[in-house]
Amino acid sequence: MTETIEIRLGRGFHRLMEFLDGWLSSSSAGGLAAHQAWTARLLAPFALTQAEQRQVCEAVLRVLGQPALRSLLVPDRVNLEILVETDCLGPAGDWLRPDRVLIDHQAQTVTVVDYKWRVLPSERAGYADQLRRYAEAMASRHCGYAIQSLVVDAQAGLWILQGDELVHC
């Protein structure tokens, strides 16, 4: 099966978001040239043109340009444990890998974040099911913690799992 451009863009977006901390460091520490080199290395596996790479970078910058999303993804709290692409055992004994998990042991909260290039109406039920499984896995690891499950999309949209539905905020 051939990957569509939408899939490749989504995978590129996911990759930059996965390495968000390093991506941000490269832009502040090494200037534009270091940032571009870092980005090119991260996106190389997806065979994106320079224009498509720019499109992916613009999506990440759009997300980071939203203060609420930036503070969610790059919090300044030191007591927060952040897990990125960490395997966990799911409720059915399957292995899951949430994109980003923020654990605040002091407040006893867990926020699970998944990245998507887009959230089409036809995809919402599947994404909600994915988030529900992540939430169940986190609840079993962090008994008594409040669990929140979210999707951040490339249009800087924020979606929250409410019951069995994925709702745009």
Mind listing the pLDDT tens digit for each residue in 42-79? 999 999 999 999 999 999 999 999 999 999 998 887 78
- Give, in degrees to the nearest 5, the angle at Cα 155 between 150 and 160: 20
Mind listing the pLDDT tens digit for each residue in 98-143? 999 999 999 999 999 999 999 999 999 999 999 999 999 999 999 9
Give the whole-angstrom CA distance, residue 60 versus residue 155: 9
pTM (whole model) above 0.85: yes
Do 101 and 142 share a structural domain? Answer: yes
Do 133 and 86 share a structural domain? Answer: yes
In-domain check, residue 119 = yes
- The average pLDDT across 164-169 equals 94
Do 115 and 47 share a structural domain? Answer: no
Give the whole-angstrom CA distance, residue 50 versus residue 104: 38
Alpha carbon separation from 109 to 26, 56, 102, 104 (Å, rounded): 30, 31, 8, 5
Do 80 and 51 share a structural domain? Answer: no
Mind listing the pLDDT tens digit for each residue in 9-30? 999 999 999 998 876 776 665 5
Give the whole-angstrom CA distance, residue 56 versus residue 86: 23
- Where is pLDDT greater, at 97 or 23? 97
Reported in sequence order, the residue ranges of the chain that DSSP labels E, i.e. its strands, are 80-84, 88-89, 95-96, 100-104, 109-116, 146-153, 158-162, 165-168
Instruction: Sort residue 38 into left (φ over 0), alpha (ψ -120 to 50) or beta.
Output: alpha
pLDDT confidence of residue 103 = 96
**Total number of domains constituting the chain:** 2
In-domain check, residue 70 = no
In 3D space, the residue among 93, 152, 82, 141 whose CA is nearest the CA of residue 117 turns out to be 152
83: tokens are 């897990």
In-domain check, residue 137 = yes
Domain extent at residue 120: 76-168
Residue holding tokens 């709290």?
A: 77
